[in-house]
Amino acid sequence: MVIKNNPYLLTLFFTAILICGCGSKEKKKEAANKLTTGPPPAPRVDGYIVKVIPVTEMLELPGSIIANESTEIHPEISGRMTYLNASEGKAVGKGTLIAKIYDGDLSAQLNKLRVQLKVQEQTAKRYEELLKINGVSQQEYDMITLQSNNIRADMAIVQSNILRTEIRAPFSGILGLKMVSPGAYITPQTVLTTLRQNSQLKLDFTLPEKFTGQLRTGQLVSFTSEGNDKIYNAKIIATESGISEESRSLRVRALVNNNDGKLLPGSFAKVKIGFEPDANAIMIPSQAIVPQARGKKVVVYRGGSIFFEDVTTGVRDTAMVQITNGLKVGDTIITTGLMSLKPNGKVVLNKVKS
């Protein structure tokens, strides 16, 4: 009776009934939705059947162009330079006199020994005549002959020292910039100039250790240099005797075949080298690779379910990548929708490319 006589309480009473009725309707609606909706449908993806594709492995490596012969020109002895024939950029032949060190003292010593030898030879001739008539003993004659031979030996030493004052080109080539001027006092540590033989150039590059077994002498490589789009060829002529422990690579040397005079020693080169084709290479689309923190995975489709398999990759090109371990011919892999897939999940294949 209190509710009947109190309008405020009546309002609260009917409001509560209304709220309860609405709540029960919402719950019934949610339950109905659950019954009609069910689990989400399996995602639709594209597949690719793994197969063998012949592939040629092509490596691009940094290299350097070097002269066929190259050396710094140093004197053998110290002294004042009296002559310098180092025209910068000039071609010289083997044996050309490049520089001369003062040898006045050595020339004087050689002249002195020549006079001594002349006198000693005259004495030896007299002793030879006396020996015939037993005027001197054989021992005395031998001592005079020994002295003559000693003088000749001393002359040979002086002549050798005079030759060391002449700095000559050890091979034919092009002279570089001169570093000294006539009149300078030079030592064996002084660089007079450089000499390079550019008529024939060589190419040096390093090959990773895992490819060394496929390399052979006489194999051709191609390369380009900075600022020059022309493709040059070179033939491998030798390799280092062992693999570098620091870089785990093998140093290779090749002889440039088609030098047109535009290549300079010391230039950087981009070397391309190819190996024998692998007829049994497993190649898959590169978008099928799922990078991981440690390694790489591929999603494999088996009987409606998917499995994430670890793989090892090899060479690649713009669209395909080689799988060296983890897949076999005939496997079906997923190539689309990879980010939304979970291990052991279900998928529906839209289309399968082989």
- The owner of tokens 């040397």 is 253
Could you tell me if residue 230 is inside a domain? yes
CB atoms within 10 A of CB 37: 8
Is the whole model's pTM more than 0.85, yes or no? Answer: no
* Same domain (yes/no): 95, 180: yes
The arrangement of strands across the sheet holding 185-186 comes to 166-168, 97-101, 79-84, 185-186
CATH number of the domain where residue 267 is located: 2.40.30.170
Residue 287: which H helix or E strand, with range?
Answer: none
User: Residue 160 carries which side chain, given as an amino acid letter?
Assistant: S
| Stretch 188-205: mean pLDDT | 94
Task: Please report the sign of the dihedral spanned by the C-alpha atoms of residue 129, residue 134, residue 136, residue 140.
Answer: positive
Alpha-carbon distance of 205 to 212, in angstroms, equals 13
Question: pLDDT by residue (tens digit) across 278-316?
Answer: 778 888 999 999 988 888 999 999 888 899 999 988 877
Give the E-state strand segments of 118-192 in sequence order.
166-168, 173-175, 185-186
Rg (CA), the chain: 45
**Residue 154 has which token pair?**
């001393």
* Same domain (yes/no): 153, 209: no
Question: pLDDT by residue (tens digit) across 206-258?
Answer: 998 888 888 889 999 999 998 888 999 999 999 999 998 888 899 999 999 98
Question: pLDDT by residue (tens digit) across 70-122?
Answer: 999 999 999 999 999 988 999 999 999 999 999 999 999 999 999 999 999 99
Alpha-carbon distance of 200 to 255, in angstroms, equals 8
Instruction: Report strand pairing: 173-175 vs 185-186.
Output: unpaired
CATH number of the domain where residue 284 is located: 2.40.420.20
From 58, 112, 13, 18, select the one nearest 271 (Cα to Cα): 58
Could you tell me if residue 212 is inside a domain? yes
DSSP three-state, residue 30: helix
Alpha-carbon distance of 283 to 54, in angstroms, equals 9
- The owner of tokens 């496929």 is 214
Alpha-carbon distance of 294 to 311, in angstroms, equals 11
* Same domain (yes/no): 18, 49: no
**DSSP at 137:** -
Range of the domain at 141: 79-186
Could you tell me if residue 21 is inside a domain? yes
From 13, 121, 49, select the one nearest 284 (Cα to Cα): 49
* Same domain (yes/no): 343, 293: yes
